Amino acid sequence: MPAKDETIKALIASELKYNEGRVKVIKKIQKKHTDLSSSKIRRVYTLHGFSLYKRIKSRRIKRKAAPIHIPLQGNVEWAIDFMSDALAKGTRIRTLNVIEQYNRKCLGIQCAHSITAKAVTKILDNIIQEQGAPQRIRTDNGTEFTSKHFQHWLAHHKIQWIPIEPGHPEQNAIIERFNRTYREAVLDANLFRTIQDAQKISNTWIQYYNNERPHQALNNQTPNTYAA
């Protein structure tokens, strides 16, 4: 390779920032080296593959596989997950769903316009006052769950966190199945005018789900009957 090409190649490499295209790179080099023509820079740029798009690898959180093990009693493992919907006027809302893995009981659904990590722990504290604390909580890798606040809360309550692998919702299959049932029966079946409407209808449905609706995985018993 001619020495001149080596010099131009080094200049190109030094100017490649933020995935900028060839035209910007050539312009930047020419501002600093007025003796170099755009055709020379373009030739070296193409010859050495700088024109090829290099995909930037996204950072992915690596987690160990977290297969589901159905507990033999209550308060061993809970699963929690978020869902999204909208009011009649188009305002987005979220729900935080909490499920007991042992008997599929719905421990709570909180509807709100936004649910922060602090809101999550407050909701869980209220449930713990009634149900007691679980040994483990299974979630995805949402920012509310990876936050320092949520992690400190887990440590304070001595609760083990079971994060599923990114891209593997089957590792939280019980609550995923619950979410589908809840969406079909409540979110898709109703038009909410206010967040209070959504909460009221959800609370009524929770009572039906826990006390009247037979569950095939529970031998066609309801969650509360199965737990008795």
- pLDDT tens for each residue of 109-136: 999 999 999 999 999 999 999 999 999 9
Complete DSSP assignment for the chain: --HHHHHHHHHHHHH--TT--HHHHHHHHHHH-TTS-HHHHHHHHHHTTTTS--PPPPP------------SSTTSEEEEEEEEEE-TTS-EEEEEEEEETTT--EEEEEEES---HHHHHHHHHHHHHHH---SEEEE---HHHHSHHHHHHHHHHT-EEEEPPTT-GGGGHHHHHHHHHHIIIIITT---SSHHHHHHHHHHHHHHHHHT--BGGGTTB-HHHHH-
Among the residue ranges 9-18, 104-113, 215-224, the one predicted with the least confidence is 9-18
Average pLDDT of the chain is 89
Give the start-to-end residue ranges of the domains of the chain: 3-47, 77-227
The top-level CATH class assigned to 77-227 is alpha beta
- pLDDT tens for each residue of 204-226: 999 999 999 998 889 999 999 99
Among the residue ranges 1-15, 91-105, 115-129, 213-227, the one predicted with the least confidence is 1-15
